[in-house]
Structure 1
Amino acid sequence: MNGAASELSPNRRRWLLAAVMSGLLLAMLDQSIVGTALPTIVQTLGGNDLYVWVATAYLVTATVSLPIYARLSDRHGRRALLLIGMALFLLGSGLAATAQNMEQLIGYRGLQGLGAGALEGLSFILVADLFAGRRSAALQGALAGLMGVAFIAGPLVGGFLTDHVGWRSVFTVNLPIGAVALAVVATVLPASVGRSERRSTPLDLTGIALLTLGVGLLLIGLNERHLVLIAGGLVVIAGFLAVERRAVAPIIPLKLFADRKVAAIMIAGATSTFGLFAGALLLPRYFQQVRDVSATHSGLLIYPLLLGILVSVNVAGMLIARRLEFRGTVLAGAGLAALGALGFATFDASTPDWQSLIFMGLMGLGIGPALSGLQIALQRSVLPQQIGGAMGTLLLLRQVGGAVALASAETVYRAGSDPAVSTGTGVLTIGLVGSLIAALALISLPRGAGRLPAPAMAPA
């Protein structure tokens, strides 16, 4: 634990935890909250041809900036980067609520996402700075569960606010909560927490530029299903990797991948949540179009997926912290997620709702251990000064993996002619592929590689 962090009183640590959890919740909600508000927004502002860009602008800037914030926080401390991110997020939220046309809204959403990258990445890293031992593992599980809650709850919250308050409230709701979180971080968090790199170390500006361009092109290409953009993004990312191999202080520390355990954790982290993204995209559409329920009702019907994640993410975190072994727990989860995905093999319009709810619950129970367990395992598998870069890389890969899962699920869905069967095929294919890749990555590790070192005891 960082020296400055260890000197904080338990009460101050609790205040900081509440602040970063609030920030993470807002950032993750805003990835999905606008989905149910967009039809109303388009009716008000016009620009139906720009529909998808309201979500894409946020996703791209949040994903690209996430590892950059994480890595720069090693140099300048967590507080400085977190405050910058919070300020940008609040500014973007306030401006988005005032947008007079779609072009403005897209620009403001991009600014909002630029701040969200700090909230999404630094929250997990700061918990590792502030807490140790089983407390850290439990909190990592809680944060990971919060991500799942926000991702699935976003459409329901967005629909409720749009129906009862107005679409601009989807953005203004961030302001009071975010302002309080910013004030707590500014007054309670010491500036030196997380600072482990000398400022004289050369900054990897070329790597930052190539990462931004490459991941941006890739994400936009995936969202638009534009092969030229995807190919361009992959070419730029190849150039980025070449630059990172020679960089003194790379944004993405490639030497981490030389450790087989870390490499397996990264691969599993990128693919283990495929079923979550596919289910959250396709199932609400099925319930609305085929079962003819409201948007709010469809959001409630996918709650078994959410509840499964909430239960298993915390149980897995506690098991891993107690047993100091992560592979068995995460592999068991991958098996459950695959079983849930297989349940959609015969899915069609006549499938009883209770069956789909059971399959969703199994998928949620299986995905949860990967959300919490892989983050705990990664933190225990790298040196303290590597946590920023390692966590930033894991979260980046999870975001990119999510974009791949969403684009692939939509492609599978559009290839079919029956909405119900296409939904089942999409969840089955994407969920099963993600679980299998994650499982194979972990199975490939040598015997005993799943064991973790005992952590230092948490302060009182």
Structure 2
Amino acid sequence: MNAPDLSPRRRAMLWAAVVSGLLLAMLDQTIVGTALPRIVADLGGPSWYVWAFTCYLVPATVLLPVATRLSDRTGRRDMLLIGMALFLAGSAVCAAAGSMPVLVAGRTTQGAGAAALEALSFLVVNELSRDSKKGAGQAAISAVMAISFVAGPLIGGLLTDHIGWRWAFLVNLPIGLVAMGLLVRALPASFGRTESRRTDVDLAGIASLVLGVGALLVALNRHQQLGDWLLPSTGGALVLGVLGIALFVRVEATAAAPIVPLRLLTDPASRRLLVAAAFATTGIYACVLLVPRWYQVDGGIDATGAGIRVYPLLLALLVGVNVGAVLVGSGALRVPLVVASAVTGAGALGFLALGTSSSGALPLVAMAVLGLGMGPQLSGLQIALSRTVAPRDLAAAMGTLLLGRQVVGAVALAAADALYRSRAASDGAASGTGWAIAWVAGAGAVVAGVALLGVRRRLPAPMPAPVPA
């Protein structure tokens, strides 16, 4: 059964299930981040603090392309159900945790499930949407991302301050179970299956990808905490990550069914879109890390108030993703996305003026400009990539896009924190915040803009969907 064969009722049920799963997975990252200081205080394990982040981040990132590629042989439904089951199991373990090691185990399980939920949500929405509606579908999914980035800290603060941190995990269970029921009822088992189950699984590629990207993420997180590349857990992990990625590229060059087909990276059109997608939204990571912290530490505002003050970024992102979806969905490509990069650069420049004597409106306006620039690229680049690659490569391309965005986002977080520390030590928290966001967001906008200058002016016509295997 293909997407056009689904009745409007089944299509609506699937939208509800897919969006619910994605929202749970993405909100969890920011909600738990806000609640984690209270969790660590209650469970008495401050030395485990960094691992509560890392153990979720690594599987949630490294398994993104693995989930999409495996769904080519299992069908989208089964992989979504596996992801949801893992995420809910991890949530239950975290909610019941009486120690930090148990919490870390639950977070690791959650991360593995979140990878499937995030990657397959983008893919299924693209496949469920008719050609005329793909822009609206990707805009809706990108809007979920924007909401989770900014609303998560606010929700996490409210739950932690007024109900209890265990509810940050318990709320996932009823929503997730309903979503699983909708998936079983509405999505055919064969939906999205384009590869024979007899095709060899790229086990060597999966292993080398986990080794390379996992070690790289551990290195970045440990350096953010320790600030020394000469330690084995930082510099050693970085070297291991580089070697693992080199091994992954070598393995993929000869794999029968690679997790990341190298033709995506050697083809100029898809390569430019993937590079732009990876770098275009670095400003989101920098803002979400630094702005709430500045409001709380320098302004004496509580977690809930700090979350509210990041709303200009959220609202602008919501506008931007819809504008980008409409423009790119209509066929325009280079001009709207290059202009979006320029707008992001303008927002980054605005943060350079942030200091102790700045107007209180300055960061709010700068965040709004950043959101208006990054929003069109959240939705537009995904639409562009889905229309550029061959149908057989759609799942791999979407997984690679999300992997690149997450890895570059992790680098952006580490860079933003390092720039903040170096500047704040001499010029204060306000200047450090503005300096770090300006450089991280601005660098991302420049890289994305340069990559997009080489893409075609308009998108090609949609290609026919592949026949299920």
Q: TM-score range by the shorter chain?
A: over 0.9
Distance in 2 between the 1:24 and 1:450 partners?
32
Could you say which residue in structure 1 is the equivalent of 2:228? none
Query: How far apart, CA to CA, are the structure 1 residues paired with 2:111 and 2:74?
Result: 21
Task: Using the TM superposition, give the Cα deviation of residue 231 of structure 1 relative to its aligned residue in structure 2, in angstroms.
Answer: 2.1
Are the counterparts in 1 of residues 322 and 379 from structure 2 also a CA contact under 8 Å?
A: yes
1:91 is the counterpart of 2:89: yes
Q: Which residue of 2 aligns with 1:309?
A: 317
Q: Distance in 2 between matches of 1:361 and 1:231?
A: 38
RMSD of Structure 2 on Structure 1 (CA): 1.3
1:107 to 93, 105, 108: 105
Measured in 2, the distance between the counterparts of 1:456 and 1:391 equals 16
Give the corresponding residue for 2:449. Answer: 439
Deviations 1:53-98 (A, max 9, x none): 1122111111111111100001110011110000000000011100
**1:41 is the counterpart of 2:39:** yes
- Residue of structure 2 equivalent to 1:152: 150
**1:401 maps to amino acid:** V
Q: Does 1:428 align with 2:438?
A: yes
Q: Deviations over 1:95-134 (max 9, x none)?
A: 1100011111011100001000011000011112211212
Q: Does 1:24 align with 2:32?
A: no
**Which residue of 1 is the match for residue 226 of structure 2?**
none
One-letter amino acid matched to 1:388:
A
Q: Matches of residues 358-377 of structure 1 in structure 2 within 5 Å?
A: 358-377=365-384
Does 1:233 find its partner at 2:233?
A: no
Give distance in 1, aligned partners of 2:334 and 2:312: 25
Residue 408 of structure 2 is aligned to residue 401 of structure 1: yes
Query: Taking structure 1 as reference, are residues 290 and 269 closer, same or farther at Cα in structure 2, changes over 3 Å only?
Result: same
User: Residue type matched to 2:408 in 1?
Assistant: G
Count of aligned residue pairs for this structure pair: 452
Normalised to the residue count of structure 1, the TM-score between the two structures is: 0.96
Alignment match, 2:274: 266
Q: What does residue range 81-230 of structure 1 map to in structure 2 within 5 Å?
A: 81-225=79-223, 226-230=234-238
Q: 2:295 is matched with which residue?
A: 287
Looking at structure 2, the residues matched to 456 and 345 of structure 1 have their Cα atoms a distance apart, in angstroms, of 44
For 2:457 and 2:11, the matched residues in 1 are separated by: 30
Change (3 A) 1:65 1:457: closer
After TM superposition, give the deviation of residue 375 of structure 1 in Å: 0.2
1:412 to 409, 412, 419: 419
Runs (4 or more) in structure 1 with deviation over 3 Å come to 454-458
State whether structure 2 residue 359 is matched by structure 1 residue 352: yes
Which of 5, 8, 11 is matched with 1:7 structurally? 5
Whole-angstrom CA distance in 2 between matches of 1:151 and 1:163: 20
Structure 2 unmatched ranges of 5 or more: 224-233
**Identity of counterpart residues, as a percentage?**
50
Residues 218-227 or 104-113, more deviating: 218-227
* One-letter amino acid of the counterpart of residue 107, structure 2: R
Per-residue displacement from partner, 1:387-421 (whole Å, max 9, x unpaired)?
11110110111111110110110111111212111
Per the alignment, residue 381 of structure 1 pairs with 388
| TM-score (normalised: structure 2) | 0.94
Give unmatched runs, 5+ long, in structure 1. none
* Amino acid aligned to 1:219: L
Give the direction of change, closer, same or farther, for the CA distance of 1:245–1:456 in structure 2 (3 Å limit).
Answer: closer
Residues 175-198 of structure 1: CA distance to partner in whole angstroms, max 9, x if unpaired?
A: 111110011001110011110011
The CA deviation string for residues 16-73 of structure 1, in whole angstroms up to 9 with x for no partner, is 0111001000100111111221121112101112112112211111111111110000
* Amino acid of the structure 1 residue aligned with 2:199: T
1:326-375 Cα shifts (integer Å, max 9, x gaps): 22111111111110010111211221121110000000000001100000
Task: After TM superposition, list the pairs within 5 Å mapping 1:235-254 onto structure 2.
Answer: 235-254=243-262
* 1:246 aligned counterpart, secondary structure: coil
Retained in 2: the 8 A contact 1:313–1:371?
Answer: yes
